[in-house]
Amino acid sequence: MSIRAKLAWTFILLLIFGITAISSYSILFIRNYLIQEGEKQIINDTEWLTITIQNLRLDDNFETNLNEVARTSGYQIAVYDEDGHLFAKVPYIDDIEASSMFDAALVDTLTILQDVYLNNDPASDKIEAYAMLSKDHNPARFLEVSIFKDQIYEPIKTIRWIIYTGMFISIGLVILVSILFSRYISRPILQLESAARDIAEGDVTRTLNLDRNDEFGKLATSLNRMAERFRQDNQEMKRLYDKQSQFFADITHEIRNPLHTIAGSLEMLQMESLQKEQREHYLQTALRQTERINRLYKDLVTLQRYDSDSYFVEKQKFDLCKTIKHVVDLYQKEAAEKGINLKYDQGYRVVVGDPDKIEQVIDNLVSNAIKYTNKGEIEIKVTEEDGHVSVHVIDTGIGISSEHLDRLFDRFYRTDKARSRDKGGTGLGLAVVKSILSAHDSDVMVKSKPGEGSDFSFRLQKG
């Protein structure tokens, strides 16, 4: 059974039960009210009937006058003499028969009470009232006034018909309203269920447009946010998948080329007629390609640790200028061979970080600067500001075009793939730099123009 049918039947049954209960209670209440009012009325009427009847004179018109009193009052009247025998009776309905002898116990009761006595036996179909009469004008001593309960209940037939008619009309309206209301209530639920099912099946483009300010509207907004989040996650996963695919393709390409070169060199070295100079050339070529694969492996290990190891860096205080001097000493000879003046700030600058990882950062930046600088100078500049120490690696090399700056630090990205590979790069150096600095809560900045050189910089916390 659908939720719409459940809601409709729930409303219908509850309201029908309520209407039926109220109608039944109303009829019962009116019935009791009528009988109570009938009791009060017969007592009041018996009092004036007592006065009227006891003042009737015993003559030829006594029976006629008594009958007129009964007709006017609407009651059945019976009078008894002092001995309790029936003196006269004027039934308003022909089939009413008064008792021929007044009950002696009732005579005693009336004598004691000297008032109207009401008898409403639940098993009886009549209400009866009794009273004593004075014997001034006629021998009547006791008065019996009675009326059928059906006469009292007569108005309830019309009231019952009105109530039942209203009840059935109300039930019809309830059914109609319940169906319409259940549709109104279930419509957003069905829309939410449909949208949730579509989203669960992968349709993250599904959106809900419920212009409501209640809980359904809030739930629709939450589902839309969830779908939007799924869309963003899917796009991010697709981007990461594409990036990973490109990453593996790049790794395959980066390893295949040096392996082919090594294989070719080894084949040439197997030739017995190879001259000594050629043998040395092929041997050095294989060695360089082996070193290239080794550097690629080290860079991949560094990136993998950054992605998965929360203890990738171990921070401590160290002298940054001392670390810079180590790197300069390492590349001084290579720079001099290219006619490049390699300068750096000497002094004592204490920073907080991982000295080995920061040395790797400076090493990669200086190495890149030497590769892409053919003349001029490379300066490693250190400055202090706002509790931080900034490091700039400034060269006068070939520079970088603006279209490459956004992707410069992506893994295996090269501004000029052919030239970069010829220079022995792995395509991971700047990605390693960015990963290490990110682990230090820092970032690498670059300013560059083609033909004017580049300025790579980063900041570390002052120690």
The answer to whether residue 182 is domain-embedded is: no
Task: Please check whether residues 264 and 340 belong to one and the same domain.
Answer: no
**Taking Cα atoms as reference points, which of 298, 377, 303, 302 lies closest to residue 343?**
377
If asked whether residues 269 and 406 sit together in one domain, one would say no
Looking at 309, 336, 370, the residue that finishes a domain is 309
pLDDT at 163: 76
> What are the tokens at 230?
């799924």
Provide the domain count of the chain.
3
| Nearest CA among 388, 390, 334 for reference residue 366 | 334
Does residue 240 lie in a domain region? yes
DSSP letter at 189?
A: H
Q: Identify the CATH number of the domain in which residue 386 sits.
A: 3.30.565.10
| Same domain assignment for residues 304 and 353 | no
Q: For residues 328 and 431, state if they share a domain.
A: yes
Residue 421: predicted pLDDT: 47
Domain-located, residue 8: yes
Domain annotation covers residue 165: no
The verdict on 389 and 297 lying in the same domain is no
The β-bridge relationship of strands 350-353 and 453-462 is antiparallel
Kindly state whether residues 151 and 17 are assigned to the same domain. Answer: yes
State whether residue 381 is helix, strand or coil: strand
Q: Last residue of some domain: 280, 309, 338?
A: 309
439, 339: one domain: yes
Phi-psi map region of 393: left, alpha, beta (phi>0 left; psi -120 to 50 alpha): beta
Q: Is residue 187 included in any domain, yes or no? A: no
Tell me if 173 is assigned to some domain. no
**Does 152 share its domain with 7?**
yes
pTM above 0.75, yes or no: no
Residue in this structure with the two tokens 């006791």, named with its chain if needed: 142
pLDDT at 4: 63
194 part of a folded domain: no
DSSP sequence for 200-222: HTT-TT-------SSHHHHHHHH
Confidence at residue 351, expressed as pLDDT on a 0 to 100 scale: 92
Classify residue 445 by its DSSP letter: E
- Domain interval for residue 245: 204-309
Pairwise CA distance, residues 254 & 251, whole Å: 5
Residues 329 and 425 in one domain: yes
Among residues 288, 309, 330, which one ends one of the domains? Answer: 309
CATH of the domain at 59: 3.30.450.20
Is the domain of 413 the same as that of 448?
Answer: yes
CATH of the domain at 213: 1.10.287.130
State the 10-residue block means of pLDDT for the chain, 463 residues long.
67 76 80 83 86 82 83 85 79 51 67 73 82 79 85 77 79 78 74 75 72 72 78 81 71 73 86 84 84 75 65 84 90 88 86 89 89 89 89 91 79 56 60 85 90 91 85
**What are the residue ranges of helices labelled H in 141-202?**
149-152, 154-200
Residues 316, 299 share a domain: no
Same domain, 13 and 150: yes
Alpha-carbon distance of 453 to 461, in angstroms, equals 27
Tokens of 54: 């006891």
Whether residue 188 is contained in a domain is answered as no
**CB count in 10 Å sphere of residue 426:** 24
